[in-house]
Amino acid sequence: MTELVWLVTGCSSGFGEAFVHSILARGDKVIATGRNAESRLAHLKGTGAAILDLDVTSPQEILNSKIQEAIAIYGKIDVLINNAAYGELAFLEEMDQKQWLDQFNTNFFGVTNVTRAILPHFRGRRSGKIAFMSSLYSWKSDPALGPYSISKHAIVGYASTLRDEVSQFNIHPIVFDIGHFRTKVSSPENLHMHITQLADYEPMFNALVQAAAGVDGFQPGDPKKGVDRMIDVLKQEGAAQGRPLPFRMPIGPDALAIVREQCHALLKTCDEWEDVIASTDFEGPKLGAWAEDTKDGGYV
């Protein structure tokens, strides 16, 4: 099989670091990126990975330049892994605009801007795969996880539209809805938890703090196994051999359970309320783009 070149964001620890090791073990090349790479990615320098300093929150012009620098390392990039992210934990009533922007600048705009920077390269080659690391929390949130959850919802919407626009160029976006894996994503340094200032929320906040103590370091998912499965899917080998490339899939049994639960609940609502839901059209024949039934139901 042809040797692939991967670019991975957020490689200082967790899934990013695991991707680097597993990609190299497959015989492919990888460009590991992160903020302050000289110090934060020092542990990867002896692995055979190329190291590139890249802050996904940089202005678009800098990201464009960084991607060109990355392409020049091996002459191409085949796969982009949008992994960099963090969690902003706060009750929605207490979130101010700066907190929203901080969360979205990394988890959404950081992802979309890096993707935008690499698209001309993929489009020119008429080839490329883009992985978006979403979460089971894009299906079902918990109290105080709203900012993180909403940023992951936004990524799914972006990736869905991107697929419709770039599949014509043989560019394939794929969303992975990640379950609970034993990474540092839930560690104090990666979770920005805002202490509630509202007495009404204090009981819930205290319960969340207590619950969080039983999460970090105890997650059931093995990051190496999760990464190996995602690489299988992206390379369509191993566990994914002979299977078509999906657009979106959960990773981990807990994520699978949540996705099934939410899909069944929505289908149940559709079935139980179909007479109401489907009763809103004008009488008479359909016109224009709706003259014949379309797969997507036309435009809203």
Angle, in degrees to the nearest 10, between helices 14-25 and 223-235:
60
Name the residue with tokens 């464009």.
64
Percent of the chain with pLDDT over 90: 83
**CB atoms inside a 10 Å sphere around CB 17:** 25
Upper half-sphere CA count for residue 93 (Cβ side, 13 Å): 8
pTM: 0.93
| Over residues 273-294, mean pLDDT | 89
Q: What end-to-end distance do the CA atoms of the chain give, in Å?
A: 44
Percent of the chain with pLDDT over 70: 95
pLDDT category of residue 2 using cuts at 50, 70 and 90: confident
Give the C-alpha separation, 83 to 241, whole Å. Answer: 24
Domain 5-254 CATH class label: alpha beta
Q: What is the pLDDT of residues 191-200, one digit of tens each?
A: 688 899 999 9
| Over residues 46-57, mean pLDDT | 97
| Over residues 55-68, mean pLDDT | 98
Sign of CA dihedral 140, 144, 147, 152: negative
The phi and psi torsions of 76 (rounded to 5 degrees) equal -170, 165
Q: Looking at residue 300, what is its pLDDT?
A: 52
Q: Looking at residue 188, what is its pLDDT?
A: 64
Q: Looking at residue 183, what is its pLDDT?
A: 83
pLDDT category of residue 297 using cuts at 50, 70 and 90: low
